[in-house]
Amino acid sequence: MQLMKLTMRKINKNIKDIPISLNSKNTEKKRNELIKSKKLLSGNFNANYKAEDVKNKLNEIYHQKCAYCEQKVEQIEIEHYRPKSIYYWLIYSWDNLFFVCPKCNKFKNNYFENENERVNFEDKDLTNIHQLRDKYDKIEKPKVFNPEKENPQKLLKFDKKGKIFSKHENLQFTINLCQLNREYLTDKRKKFFDETIRIIKISISGIGSQIAQKEKLNEILKKDDTLEFTAYRNFCKEILKKMLKF
């Protein structure tokens, strides 16, 4: 089985460009209530991070694609990289909010494993509440891969059956945790691969020049961050180049 290293898209979020709802007086009040209680409380504490401006900003940044499986998301769910049930003070922190699909959100749930001891809230962290991940990562060394922070270039591998792998410990940990090789996703990736081969064979059958064939291949598989499975599209492109001996 042939595997190829690929570049997975990295999420480029400006953590200083914080949606207004996350910096409102109401949000600050609710956060302080949680900090005072030292735990996540029941009640209306979710509305602030689910505000329309937060959803819209995440939708724009993620191109309407799940942070983990990269499929298009119709039913948006906002996921906390560090679970709000544990890190209650980070419930409204901009650098802790991801755009995900319901399935990946369900599989990841509140699971968050670290190599080192977990951090606790400190009053001084309030001054930098939207930008704590670097500080916390150095202390905890989390096992869950963060696509907003880390660039997984050359860390991913795929096969022609649509499965995804990595020798990178944190990346493979996240692949397993979010079940990124669940049947629906592998079937969808394989279907894309098979259909792409069919279309390209038809498209270039009447083109004699290898240069022209290569241009046609690039046109069909052109980079578009708004499309599903960006990384897998790159894989298909490299496989097809080898098949066509470019």
Is the pLDDT score of 238 beyond 80? no
Looking at 64-68, 211-215, 239-243, which range is the least confident one?
Answer: 239-243
pLDDT of 2 over the 50 cut: no
Separation of alpha carbons 19 and 138, rounded Å: 26
* Local structure of residue 142 (DSSP, 8 states): B
Q: Which helix (H) or strand (E) holds 233?
A: helix 230-243
Out of 35-44, 155-164, 184-193, 210-219, the most confident range is: 35-44
Residue 201: which pLDDT band, with cuts at 50, 70 and 90? confident
How high is the pLDDT of residue 86? Answer: 97
Treating both helix axes as pointing N-terminal to C-terminal, what angle do 210-220 and 183-204 enclose, rounded to 10 degrees?
150
Predicted confidence at residue 208, as pLDDT, reads: 63
More confident residue, 52 or 157: 52
At residue 206 the predicted structure's pLDDT band, cuts being 50, 70 and 90, is low
